[in-house]
Amino acid sequence: MDPLEALVAQIQGLSSSSADIARLHTILKQSDDSLRSNSSRLSPIFSLIDPSIHSLGFLYVLDAFTSTSVSNQQQAEELVPIITRFISGCSVEQIRLAPEKFIYVCKRLKDQVMLLEAPIRGVAPMFTALRKLQVSTEHLTPLHADFLLLCLLAKSYKTGLSILDDDVFEVDHPRDLYLYCYYGGMICIGQKRFQKALDLLHNVVTAPMTMMNAIVIEAYKKYVLVSLIRHGLFSTSLPKYCSPLAQRNLKPFCQNPYIEMAHTYSTGKVADLEAFVNANADKFESDNNLGLAKQVVSSMYKRNIQRLTQTYLTLSLEDIANTVHLNSAKEAEMHVLQMIQDGEIYATINQKDGMVRFLEDPEQYKTCEMIEHIDSSIHRIMALSKKLTATDEQIACDHLYLSKVGRERQRYDFDDYDVPQKFNI
């Protein structure tokens, strides 16, 4: 009998119980090569097997089918619905038996929708796929980064934001983490959630690295700009837990114009900053950071007004306009009004006298919401602390860690630490 037909029969027959599926899995692994060599004859099989019942078999066939390169739109147009249908219908237990193949198929989906120039078609399937692949919400799969990339290209920023709220604890490959945090940072910048963007970009910049990579450099550039927008200052010294490679090499790559911009920002003069941005516009443009650079300039006004609240109790609108280099008192009034609306400042405007009175933060920390907020923060920190203790204990028992520590301690106190030269378990 034709080996393909035999295989289809086995897929259909052996997909009911977990013992059968284990057998099927072995058979499929053995037939992988023959599937790949017959990839051109595989398309009729898709109508014979059901993605929800025969998920594992479907996955192997799909993997072999997509391993050939698809370069024209018509083939992509046929392939995308098959993969989409599979992802929405497949059974979670079966696909978790062959995660690398599932990931490969999903990545091919991403390639196809980008070939068709319709990234929005891939957003919903990719979301379903990553939820199915994830063992828990703390697990970062390679699909997270692709999902965020599709969200960015399709401009569905709000959808991308929904998975960024999950705390990540387990990561399969470091590269996934870099890309996830970098794209995540971009999505947060688009939704103007600058603190979260800063946290994510910080993760990329401080992640352990064995060699320089482009993702970290681009992330650092955005990190500088977002830090200026959010905090109005930027410190060039990286934290101690950063890899030494990053500490030595990031600054030279980003010196001009990003770190220069941070220096110009600290002078507090809007005109200088604007001139600087205009002079370096093409450099910002080539990094796709020109919009962000312009946001830095407009944040300077806010920063200067906020600085005034620390010195003055009341100030006239004219004086604000002059100090902050705005054109008129009316413009100053509009700026202050917008900052009040955004909650960035507490003040009241008195139009009759043309004065602004700066107030203290009216938060009394007495409301129920505030108590709930503090309570939930305490619980979160307790959970985090438990997790850290558990991880610490786990690492203390880890073979690699003990052998390295054992070797080093040798140097100092031979008598106290009776650890053999080689730590063989």
Partner 1 sequence: MDLSAVTAALESKSYEKIADICDNLMLQVAADGAAFHNDWPYAIHLLSHFYVHDINSARFLWKTIPSSIKESNPEVNAVWKIGQQLWLRNYGGVHEAIRGFEWSQGLQDFVAAFSELYTKEVFQLLVSAYSTITVEDVALFLGMSEEDASSCKCATARLDCGLCLSDAYCEEATCCDRAETRPP
Contact positions toward partner 1, by CB under 8 A?
77, 80-81, 84, 118, 120-125, 127, 154-159, 190-192, 334, 336-338, 340-341, 347-353, 357, 362
Q: Is the Cβ of residue 51 or residue 122 nearer to partner 1 in the bound state? A: 122
What is the three-class DSSP state of 172? coil
CB 334, min distance to partner 1, A: 7
**What are the φ and ψ backbone dihedral angles of 96, each rounded to 5 degrees?**
-70, -10
DSSP 3-state of 363: coil
User: Minimal distance in Å, beta carbon 112 to partner 1?
Assistant: 11
Q: Which is nearer to partner 1, 124 or 245 (CB)?
A: 124
The residue (of 154 and 212) whose beta carbon lies closer to partner 1 is 154
**Contact of 228 with 265, CB cutoff 8 Å:** yes
Whichever of 69 and 341 has its CB closer to partner 1, that residue is: 341
Give the 3-state secondary structure of residue 9.
helix
Exposure pattern of 320-334 as b/e (b: 16+ CB <10 Å)? bbebbebeebeebbe
Residue placing its CB nearer to partner 1 in the complex, 153 or 402: 153
HSE at residue 182, side-chain half, CA atoms within 13 A, is 23
Minimum distance, C-beta of residue 9 to partner 1, in the bound complex (Å): 31
The distance of closest approach from Cβ of residue 270 to partner 1 in the complex, given in angstroms and rounded to an integer, is 19
Listed in order, strand segments (DSSP E) in 65-223 are: 139-140, 170-171
Q: How far apart are CA 96 and CA 135, in angstroms?
A: 9
Tell me if 67 sits within 8 A of 40, measured CB to CB: no
DSSP letter, residue 96: T
Whichever of 153 and 405 has its CB closer to partner 1, that residue is 153
Specify the residue, 49 or 337, whose C-beta has the smaller distance to partner 1. 337
Distance between CA atoms of residues 52 and 258, nearest Å: 51
Least distance CB 291 / partner 1 (angstroms): 12
Q: How far is the CB of 344 from partner 1 (least distance, A)?
A: 12
- DSSP codes, 22-62: HHHHHHHHHHHHHHHHTGGG-GGGGGTS-TTTSHHHHHHHH
Question: At closest approach, how far in Å is the CB of 227 from partner 1?
Answer: 20
